Amino acid sequence: MHSFCKTFFRGAALAGLVAGLLASAGTASAATSGKATVQQAPAAKAQGEYAGQDTCLGCHEDKAAAVKDGPHARAFNPNSPAATAGCESCHGAGKAHAEAGGDKSLIKGISKLPVNQSSELCTSCHDRKKHALWAGSQHDQRNVGCTSCHSVHAAKGAPQLKAKSEPELCASCHKAIVNKQSRFNHMPVRESKLGCSSCHNVHGSTNMKLLKAGTTVDESCTSCHSEKRGPYLWEHAPVADACVTCHDPHGSNNDRMLVAKAPFLCQRCHVTARHPPTVYDSYALKNSSAANRISGRSCLVCHQLIHGSNSPNGKAFLR
């Protein structure tokens, strides 16, 4: 009995251990790559010797800002270049380069690296939280790297961005989308109340289209517009499906950023409804006293609770 107990217990403990190891495999690898940050200096040392950043600055005074000012100079953070190897945290050990009077072949020139390699350099430190899903994300896949958007030495806007503002940065590649900001109705991005990054995480996400929150478009929208989340007693199918069926999140010339004006908005789907196929030729509405109320808010004059209703009589979203 006693020995059975022991064996059983050992077996169980072993199984537990294996399961634990399997479960923590993800976290464990994250933790080791985190550690690599701290150990990066010794690792780089194997390829050469360090000169120290004062030596570098002797010839590259113009690059001083990167290690004396700004985020990479925050020496209180033990992972920062300032607290590790200074210039050489990023450019690699450079004693040979310095002693050769600046031989280019003996130092890592980052803007000449292939994009995936320069991104790897950055993710050797920035691999957590917001950046955990970078590898294989839409930008990574299309050879847009960290240094396509950030500059360590010549940033124009925070955080280390290559352009003064976020929309300006995005516009260099997504002009059509950023231009929608000048439409009559838009999210307050132009007014700086929201940024593109209020909805997107350009560094990778679990949602489609690099959306920051949730796993569906709706979850992304309702992370702010929680009152539209429901559940409703009477759900309107397209609302439960995707808000972008009716709204353009980047802006539109219709009220409420709608992709089309009512009745056309509704008639993209409701063409064969019992009542009215169109507001203009319906037996129900034509010449009735209701007909002249249809201009303007159109179908919405009556179908007010278009996102869903909780009234027992709300099947048609009238109340």
Residues 249-268 that bind ligand HEC (CB under 6 A): 249-250, 256-258, 262-263, 265-268
Q: Among residues 15, 7, 96, 101, which one has the least CA distance to residue 48?
A: 96
The span from the CA of 312 to the CA of 319, in Å, is 9
The span from the CA of 246 to the CA of 262, in Å, is 10
What is the closest distance, in whole angstroms, from the C-beta atom of residue 6 to ligand HEC in the complex? 48
Q: Does 165 bind ligand HEC (CB under 6 A)?
A: no
What is the closest distance, in whole angstroms, from the C-beta atom of residue 16 to ligand HEC in the complex? 36
For ligand HEC, what does the binding mask look like between residues 108 and 147, x meaning CB under 6 A?
-xxxx------x-xxxxxx---xx--x---xx--x-x-xx
**Tokens (6 digits) for 213:** 């929150």
Q: Among residues 109, 78, 91, which one has the least CA distance to residue 52?
A: 91
What is the closest distance, in whole angstroms, from the C-beta atom of residue 121 to ligand HEC in the complex? 5
Per CB under 6 A, the list member of 33, 165, 185, 216 interacting with ligand HEC is: 185
Stretch that binds ligand HEC, among 3-11, 17-25, 26-34, 296-304 (CB under 6 A): 296-304
The span from the CA of 277 to the CA of 284, in Å, is 10
Amino acid at site 303: H
Q: How many residues bind ligand HEC (CB under 6 A)?
A: 141
Stretch that binds ligand HEC, among 2-10, 18-26, 27-35, 76-84 (CB under 6 A): 76-84
Report 205-244 residues binding ligand HEC (CB under 6 A). 209-211, 217-218, 220-225, 228, 236-239, 243-244
274 contact partners, CB below 8 Å, separation of at least 6:
none
45 or 153: whose CB is closer to ligand HEC? 153
Q: Does 71 bind ligand HEC (CB under 6 A)?
A: yes
The span from the CA of 246 to the CA of 261, in Å, is 10
**Tokens (6 digits) for 246:** 């009716």
Assess contact for 185 and 256: CB atoms under 8 A. yes
